[in-house]
A and B are shown apart, each in its own frame.
Chain A
Amino acid sequence: MKWDEFFVTGDPMIYGADVSIVLTMVGILFYLTKYKKWKWLWDEWLTTVDHKKLGIMYIVSAVLMLFRGGVDALLMRTQLAVPEAKFLDSQHYNEIFTTHGTIMIIFMAMPFLIGLINVVVPLQIGARDVAYPYLNAVSFWTFFIGAMLFNISFVIGGSPSAGWTSYMPLASNELSPGPGQNYYLLGLQIAGIGTLLTGINFLVTILKMRAPGMTLFRMPMFTWSSLVTMVIIIFAFPILTVALALMTFDRLFGSHFFTLQGAGMDMLWANLFWLWGHPEVYIVILPAFGMFSEIISTFSRKTLFGYKAMIWSMLLIAGYSFLVWVHHFFTMGSGALVNSVFSITTMAIGIPTGVKIFNWLFTMYRGKIQFTTPMLWSLGFIVNFVIGGVTGVMLAMAAADYQYHNTYFLVSHFHYVLIAGTVFACFAGLIYWYPKMFGYKLNERIGKWVFWIFTIGFNVCFFPQYFLGLDGMPRRVYTYSEESGWGPLNMVSTIGGFMMGIAFLVLVYNMYYSFRFAKRELTGDAWDGRTLEWSTPSAMPPFYNFAKIPEVTGLDHFWRQKQAGKVEKLTANELKPIHMPSNSGVPFIMASFFFVAGFGMVFDWMWMAIVGLIGVFGTLIYRSFEYDDGYYVSVEEIIETEKISK
């Protein structure tokens, strides 16, 4: 292989990216060395098993991926702003929409939510840690390495270009030669391992680590939504694992699962992909629903309306999520009966979702609403998500879908549900729990600017796309003619896209500004919250979370204690030593070997893949022989940390 096949060449933007990657790396190395931060980095972050730190690392990675996926989006919108544009060529455009979709779903939305789940859920259920802290670190690092492997594709070897759905035969060796599609397969496979482990970890955590008195029907709604999400993960992700493995076999070892030769079946890929992919939609929307429930309840000063209906509707959605996958390909020859069945199940899933919308509205009804930034995002969610939901029902009608399938109508619909649902929730949740993670609030005034610029930009960007779709503009085209008449609306859409980009920059500025100037929170209860995570006396909970595990007596336990004026003060004599797990560098090293193995397979260098896999198994064996029972935090240290006077 020649060097110019290994590195992507020929495009000035790629050279720019090369330079900026090298400069960033040099900058980071320089900073770490100059300020002697290597030991700190290793001890505090790379080897940590603390769920709160892992959660923060998930969120930081997700924000970086939001930037990368957002730049992809702006490149696309720039190309589409005017007819016959020459900004990107068709291959480059294909690569960009493929990586945009994959990164936003797999490496942005899911990690962002899992990050917040990591930070919040153990605190909400009154646990000292998750069930498997070490495994939690393995999950994070496999996600991170999978994401990095996928991301380097655009400078080394070339990006995948078959869409985030990677339909066969488009993704086959014949139509997608080179390493690009392999990056997709291996990057997702490695990250998927981490997701499955997270699913098991948090299912056991929520089932087994709850504080005394917290029955299932006293759990906060965010914890409930996480529980349901984990169940979906456990049943959906193995399907993705198999689908990716089968396509890897097709591409690297000559099998015929999805090929046109050897009697393979390309539609089998579409079925397997969406049999995972549709539940995936609910994996990224249910935790969002949970967050909105918490936020709306907190800032309406009322208990969530219809708590049990919320739970049952969520369970119903989880079940339905596995029964609707064919609606992704109504037009691909499934036949009238199959289409009708999946049309009905698809429409039916709107019912439990509608139940939730009404419950949020009734929670606000007669509440004392505070228009904080997390609340603004929640209100914006309700309006915009309903627009996305209604157009979703339009798409669910199989016969009508023949009109707008694969047009911008569809593009607009899923951006309305995914951005208004998941991205709004990520912002809302980030701002809401920011003081819990960092000890200060983000600035509210700047935060409101972010909200308005983003939400207006979002509607300016995507609302015209409904009309472009109805006017026949197909998705995935890299340019269009003047005569089509699609030019003006596309220009409007692009302007909206850039407004969202500006809002992102203002959000980042807000983080910087608040870090410098925001008032530090001391109480730990920044928003006058209702659930247990707000009950730790310090703004950031210490590594062991709770000095004394709370005893829960009902829903919104902490809120009712505050109302009754019965918040207990910690006293030194009720403290006991706390058992905690030790840090470990093994998860990081194991994930690094995964990177070696994955990189080898991407380029079909089997020696390298084998070296990497031996490393992975070596770290597994090393861990198995390691008998580290953790350590105890002494009562003196707890007294010191909690600042209790004797």
Chain B
Amino acid sequence: MAHAETHDPNTPLEYRSEIGRLNILGFWIFLGAEIALFATLFATYMVLTHRIADGPALGELFEVKSLLIQTFLLLTSSFTCGLAVHEMRRHNVKGLITWMAVTLGLGLGFLYFEIQEFLHFIHEGANIGTSAAWSGFFVLVGTHGAHVTFGIFWVTMVLIQVAKRGLTPATSAKVFITSLYWHFLDVVWIFIFTAVYLMGMVTHHG
């Protein structure tokens, strides 16, 4: 299968081995399953959003400042992740690692503010057991946060491999797949931003 294959010189490195092409396609399909997973979580959240029992309403506790910082950090990280892949296409290992490191830093910053926000909510008396609405909130937003956490570990591991082995069809496919994952998290966040935070604040403040 991995016989000497002839390539158009314009083929990106990550598409040059059959295994690389297969893995990238498989990962796209995996993202399809992830969409189904998040769609289910969103649907659950939407159904439960007004079922607050004796606890606080969701929009009551949301804060614009924290939300904007998180959004800024995550959207920027998607941009720097794109720059990293751009550097990879130019076979610039140092540029790739630098921009990916920036991406990871922004991701960590996002997680820091998200955890701060969660702690704030818990301090204000809203935790996963407060009401169905808050259960829905913490599990939906928390699942996204867990994905970001996983992504940070994953990208780090892949960067170590790039540093050790340089850019090969195998390592570049891994970098490319992690970048797809990272952009996907950004897309999910845009939906959380809208469906959870904006709608929560609009319904609360009118």
Contact = CB atoms under 8 A, between A and B. Distances in A.
A200 B22 CA distance: 11
B195 interface: no
Nearest to A625: B161
Contacts of A382: none
Interface string B179-197: 0000000000000000000
B128 A254 contact: yes
Contacts of A200: 26, 29-30, 33
Interface string B15-40: 00000011101100110111011001
A261 to B, nearest CB: 8
B140 to A, nearest CB: 10
A235 B33 contact: yes
A255 B135 contact: yes
A253 interface: yes
Contacts of A275: 40
Contacts of B36: 234-236, 238-239
Nearest to A205: B22
Given A235-B36, A255-B128, A264-B132, A624 B139 contact: no
Nearest to B128: A255
Contact of A624 (B2, B23, B44, B161): B161
The residue in B44, B130, B153, B165 that gathers the most chain A C-beta atoms within 10 A of its C-beta is B44
Interface in B20-72: 21-23, 25-26, 29-30, 32-34, 36-37, 40-41, 44, 47-48, 51-53
Contact of A579 (B2, B138, B165): B2
A430 interface: no
B25 A265 contact: no
B157 A621 contact: yes
Contacts of A242: 37, 40-41, 44
Contact of B40 (A204, A239, A621): A239
Interface in B141-185: 153, 157-158, 161, 165, 170, 174
Contact of B3 (A255, A265, A579): A579
Nearest to A241: B37
Nearest to B171: A627
A253 B161 contact: no
B117 to A, nearest CB: 18
Contacts of B1: 128, 579
A547 B26 CA distance: 27
B29 A257 contact: no
Contacts of B37: 238-239, 241-242
B26 A263 contact: no
B25 A235 contact: no
A254 B130 CA distance: 9
Contacts of B26: 131-132, 200-201, 204
Given A200-B33, A201-B26, A579-B1, A265 B47 contact: yes
Contacts of A235: 32-33, 36
Interface in A173-208: 196, 199-201, 203-204, 207-208
Given A132-B22, A239-B36, A256-B53, A263 B132 contact: yes
B44 A257 contact: yes
Contacts of A255: 128-129, 135, 138-139
A204 B135 contact: no
B56 to A, nearest CB: 13
A246 interface: yes
Interface in B91-125: none
Contact of B48 (A207, A238, A265, A621): A265
A131 B22 contact: yes
B133 interface: yes
A627 B33 CA distance: 27
Interface residues of B, number: 40
A16 interface: no
A10 interface: no
Contact of B22 (A196, A208, A259, A629): A208
Interface in A601-646: 617, 621, 624-625, 627, 629
Contacts of B157: 621, 624-625
B131 A204 contact: no
Nearest to B30: A200
Given A234-B29, A239-B36, A257-B136, A246 B22 contact: no
Contact of B170 (A128, A199, A617, A627): A627
A256 B1 CA distance: 51
Interface in A113-137: 128, 131-132
Contact of B131 (A236, A246, A256, A579): A256
Contact of B2 (A196, A263, A629): A629
B132 A262 contact: yes
A249 B3 CA distance: 49
A102 B37 CA distance: 22
B48 A204 contact: no
B47 A262 contact: no
Contacts of A246: 44, 135, 139
B32 A263 contact: no
A455 B176 CA distance: 54
A234 B53 contact: no
A241 B35 CA distance: 13
Nearest to A245: B139
A304 to B, nearest CB: 28
A613 to B, nearest CB: 12
A262 B40 contact: no
B30 A262 contact: no
Interface in A206-252: 207-208, 234-239, 241-243, 245-246, 249-250
B33 A264 contact: no
A292 to B, nearest CB: 28
B28 to A, nearest CB: 10
B90 to A, nearest CB: 24
Given A255-B139, A262-B135, A263-B53, 6 more contacts: A128-B1, A203-B29, A204-B22, A234-B36, A242-B37, A246-B139
6 contacts: A131-B22, A239-B40, A249-B128, A261-B53, A262-B53, A579-B2
Interface of B: 1-3, 21-23, 25-26, 29-30, 32-34, 36-37, 40-41, 44, 47-48, 51-53, 128-133, 135-136, 138-139, 153, 157-158, 161, 165, 170, 174
Q: 3 shortest A-B CB distances, which residue pairs?
A: A263-B51, A238-B37, A255-B135
